[in-house]
Amino acid sequence: MAATAIFSAAFYALAFPMLLPIAVRAAMEGDGLHNIFSIITIIYLFSLIFFHRNIHNTLIRSLTLQLENMDMAKALEKKTTK
């Protein structure tokens, strides 16, 4: 799942179809154990979404800062060579 952190659509296209049918099927059983399993699966899905957003934002910020630093280094190099 961490490999899909850059492209959010890929994460959501993987996470929801993978976990929601499990949660729905378990909830349809109707007994206590399956209901608990269904709730835990939904909590797991929301925790994956939370961590995905954090990792995604961190990676995007890191790449943005790297590009900004490269631009600043080039500008400094041009200044010092003049």
pLDDT, one tens digit per residue, over 12-64 is 998 999 999 999 999 999 899 999 999 999 999 999 999 999 988 998 999 99
| Reported pTM | 0.76
Residue 23 near residue 38 (C-beta atoms within 8 A):
yes
Distance CA 57, CA 82 (A): 38
**Where do the structural domains in the chain lie, given as residue ranges?**
2-81
Say how far residue 32 (Cα) sits from the centre of its chain.
Answer: 31
